[in-house]
Structure 1
Amino acid sequence: MLNRIESYYDAVPRSSARAEAHGPLTLFVREGEGWPFYARPTLGHSGVVALDAVEAVRARQRELGVPEAFEWVAETTPGLRAAVEASGLTVHEHPLMVLEGDGLAVPGPEGVTVRMVDAGDTDALATAVAAPYAAFGMAPQPGTAERIAERIDAGLTRLAAALDSVGVALSAGQHQPVGPVSEVVGVGTVPAARRRGLGLAVTAALVADARARGAELVFLTASDADVARLYGRLGFRTVATALIAEA
């Protein structure tokens, strides 16, 4: 299972980034506008990573003007953390969770419609893209909605939203299929609509869509143990620890 997730992690950025090989590490560099990527272990490498390899990648990231960030799975590449921490980066731990079965049903939130959003649904698309950013006090970069629409048309992204009575997204998220594997990402709810179960309902819609489209393995990374318990209500269980390192 973790090997399939590793293959997914190596494949999913390649639709919008170039991969630079740096020995035991691969640096993904976004082509064009959009959120910057990160470095991670080269697919198939599970051994120790030396400090100088990490520092070389960090130097390249500074040269490119992108964040000095690394992402990996603790159980798959246990030999990376020591070098990353020795280089001065802070490592954050997050539960890596896999869905068991088809997912459990959750009550439908009152006063909202939870559904998938297509690329041609421009009004809903714009607010569905903005909602997860608003959850963290941010605004999407110009052109983000258009890029998401292109990815939807290309079959690279699926978008779900909880819409209020006038069609404004209060919560939204995505799953990104690569073959028979898909990851649920970017689920967020605007602050004024929290504690209504909207994020869980959006996640349930994404899970149902992924399974309907043939996804055999559906997974996500929870921000912390409390959020992981919420996802457990949908049938997700923790299988490993995702690590994110940043300056």
Structure 2
Amino acid sequence: MRLRPARPSPYRGPVLKRIETYYDTVPRSSARAEEFGPLTLFVREGEGWPFYARPAAGHEGEVPVAAVERVRARQRELGVPEAFEWVAETTPGLRAAVEASGLTVHEHPLMVLEGPGPAVPEPEGVTVRMVDAGDPGLESAVAAPYAAFGFPPEPGTAERTAGRITAGLTRLAAAFDEEADGVALAAGQYQPVGDVSEVVGVGTVPAARRRGLGLAVTAALVADARVRGAELVFLSASDADVARLYGRLGFRTVATALIAEA
């Protein structure tokens, strides 16, 4: 079942253009771009989670199935997942080509923060704070979202995250258990590019869910981003139920983020 179209907004067009610029820019700090006509494949340089393909900057028209299949062949050659990410409303012609090539498309509400974001009471028994590169809780904070999603972090993930924090490419927040010093129960990040920031990877370990920790971490990330000059803060929710939770922080759905996988 497809998500309902996002409610029309007079600012949606300019906002989506800024998000598209962001999506084309943020992978380039740690990946090279290989061009395939209307598509760009980002290939990670060094260790870390592999990237994806997406529409080339400025391309909003149709995408031939042959272009999708060329990218998929290159991904197989590189030994990386055959994955594509894009915004439905910006590149509506890509979905048919991706599905015709045999990939499965997943829909996620694309949400933009309206206003500064409300203050969220800190849940009882935890301390929510930003985590710097030298923080003793860094490794636990990096591991928490991986535990939330059901798999361990790759070796070196904490060190790479510390490097990105030092370089100003990533900001990390976590909710730490006050009874178990240094143990993160939830964490998440945002990645700033100019005055645009995307909140990503917010997750809570299974044993600590339903305590509002994810919202508290997100609120901390939003507050930090605003202080550091972010004018546009956005995220992709996993589904409509999660989108309703982010709505409590002031996020509103403006479009649909699509992810295609083999």
Q: 1:220: which partner in 2?
A: 235
Could you tell me which of 92, 108, 128 is aligned with 2:122?
108
What pairs with 1:1-247 in structure 2 (closer than 5 Å)?
1-121=15-135, 123-165=136-178, 166-247=181-262
> How far off its partner does 1:65 sit?
0.4
The one-letter code matched in structure 1 to 2:18 is R
Give TM-score scaled by structure 2 length: 0.93
Q: Give the percent of matched residue pairs that are identical in Structure 1 and Structure 2.
A: 86
| CA distance in 2 between partners of 1:64 and 1:83 (Å) | 22
| CA distance in 2 between partners of 1:178 and 1:98 (Å) | 15
> How far off its partner does 1:167 sit?
2.2
- For residues 219-241 of structure 1, give each alpha carbon's deviation from its aligned partner in whole angstroms, at most 9, with x where no partner exists: 00000000000000000000000
> How far off its partner does 1:196 sit?
0.2
| CA distance in 2 between partners of 1:136 and 1:54 (Å) | 28
The one-letter code matched in structure 2 to 1:149 is A
The one-letter code matched in structure 2 to 1:159 is L
Give TM-score scaled by structure 1 length: 0.99
> How far off its partner does 1:103 sit?
0.3
- Supply the RMSD in Å over aligned alpha carbons: 0.5
The one-letter code matched in structure 2 to 1:245 is A
Count of aligned pairs: 246
| CA distance in 2 between partners of 1:32 and 1:169 (Å) | 27
| CA distance in 1 between partners of 2:149 and 2:91 (Å) | 30
| CA distance in 2 between partners of 1:232 and 1:105 (Å) | 13
Secondary structure of 1:106's counterpart equals coil
The one-letter code matched in structure 1 to 2:30 is S
> How far off its partner does 1:105 sit?
1.8
Secondary structure of 2:61's counterpart equals coil
